[in-house]
Amino acid sequence: MGNDLFSKVTGLTGLPEDLIGNELKDLLEKKGISPEECTMDSLRAALQEYLKDVNAQMLAEGVEDSADIAGGKSISRSDELAQ
């Protein structure tokens, strides 16, 4: 699957493929995975880690309400901590 999956995901983002390709490659390499070895599970794990990092950065910067990011549903820090 590897390269086919990697290429398909980078293409489907709608973002510049060189930009998202490099970012995704870096995320996978942090997990010890090359684009050629990419599977759906490894990609999912890398993106989950990325989203956790982004969320932690937002919380560290004091972003209390992320309604725009949550698709219109307001998520406050206290809501998140309760989950």
Tens-place pLDDT, residues 58-79: 888 876 655 555 555 555 555 4
- Round to whole Å and give the CA distance between 78 and 66: 12
Query: How much is the average pLDDT of 22-29?
Result: 89
pTM assigned to the model: 0.61
Domain boundary assignment for the chain = 2-82
> What pLDDT was estimated at residue 69?
55
Q: Residue 41 — pLDDT band, cuts 50, 70, 90?
A: very high
- Tokens representing 74 are 């307001």
